[in-house]
Chain A
Amino acid sequence: MTAPEVWRIARENARLVGYRCTQCGWVAFPERKRVCKRCRAAPADFEEVKLKPYGQVLSYVVQHRLPAGFETPLPLAVVELADGPRVYGHLVECAPEDVEVGMEVEADLRVMYEENGARVYSYKFRPRSLEPSRGGS
């Protein structure tokens, strides 16, 4: 992603901030919206939500063929966060054979890549521990 693309979603990305449509309850993340892509309200009223940093694995794959820059095998999931948004996420601290549909996972801020000497952070997901999560809310 270009620097402006990262910058546009910097706050949402680093703090897990989403926007809930007051008409249908759908949560936009990470982009800040003025129309709702679920109920089509246009303009829609969105309220800011601090997203809970955990959710469930809706489905997953284990990636074996990826370009340079990834370590394989890589478990990759569609995670539904507790507040509703669906995101792609890499699973860490979890063997590929231990991943399951419905597994509870929590978001953990990690370095995703470096560009022009700057580290770009975002979330990966790991099995949710019973202890309160560090990012908690």
Chain B
Amino acid sequence: MDDKYKRILQSAQDLRWEVGEDFHERIMEALYTDATRIADRAVTYPDQKPRFDLDRTIDRLVTSRVWGFPLMILMLTLVFWLTISGANYPSKLIFSLLIDKVQPMLKAGAASIGMPWWLSGVLIDGAYLSTAWVVSVMLPPMAIFFPLFTLLEDFGYLPRVAFNLDHIFRRAGAHGKQALSMTMGFGCNAAGVISTRIIDSPRERLIAIITNNFSLCNGRWPTQILIATIFIGTLVPAQLAGLISAIGVVSIALLGVLLTFLVSWGLSRTILKGEVSTFNLELPPYRPPRVLQTLYTSVIDRTLIVLWRAVVFAMPAGVVIWLSANITIQGTSIAEYLINFLNPFGLLVGLNGVILVAYIVAIPANEIVIPTILMLTVLVTGASGVGAGSGVMFETQSGLATLSILTRGGWTLLTGVNLMLFSLIHNPCSTTIYTIFKETNSMKWTVIATLLPVVMGFMVTFFTAQIWRLIAGW
């Protein structure tokens, strides 16, 4: 080190003794005093008391001990109900356009230019269909869900959610700001993991990172919505179906929140012990949301970007699925080998081999779980008349048709419920895992954050299956 540099540090050290211990506080005090003085000179407050403070009135309601939580759940249910019932019709429309009309045209076109069957299979039945499926199933719900969520965000509701949840997080030994990173995770877990940077203490930040996976991300919303619609919605009369399905999805999301608390609690008492830090949560003023701008940004920035990501992953996945279903060894396709191999374990935990294979294929993107499951189910049951031959990823005209395919594949209500549970509790997608590694810079914590949820997921589905079978008696 240079001598003259050392001299500066030395005299700083010496002088520190002279100025006395309390000087840090003195500096802060001076800062506050000056800020107050300057602000006082510039700001004039109104003479009379504000007649009616709307912000405070709303706050008193949405953060009240009695009404805070019910209002929160009500709001969530309303958002999902609008999403589920609103997405139905446009989904069908896009589907019939992309798959009933465009796909046969592509097939015919391929045949007329003499494309070999395997090439048109890979391109049209594999890559195109999986992409078309993802677009028709994901676009409408996202185009409704994201704007609604963004409007709530713009209005200023999210910090109130954090305010309501703060004391629970505190009791769980975690940081209150985790409520914000958790809420962020409902959009995208990778974004949620990055947003934990607002938490100062490394211990509490790790807890927030590991548990962020339990925030149901938008890649998993469509799975939840679809399975809830076809298994839970069909249990009740049609006019109630949308509402009941929405309640099903909300229950799963709330279970995720509950798991966040439980796992945070567990972590803070075992491998991540320590004190809870305090912080100030600022409740911003409510602002009238800018509706048009919100619509624009949430459709362009969130919906299309997420959709694009899904498409990018769905295309190669479609190719892989088609190939694994059409390359056979001794008359049996690779996919069937895998499914049969995983089936016993799958059934043990109340799922099946198809679901497990689909989850392996879908590690890059959770969005394509459902199309993969449907395609593989048809492959295994050999159902004729639906889809267009082996290895073709397809969607069905309605929830009921999907249900009939799935029941033919041996699905029960238990399989549906367990799929919803497993979709909530399993490893984060590859993007999130990579983000966790970048943020923590530690292989150990990345592995823990990846494997802990998988193990938990299998445990939860296993016990659900055992209890269910005990009660149902088979």
B partners with A: no
B residues with a Cβ closer than 8 A to A are none
A residues with a Cβ closer than 8 A to B are none
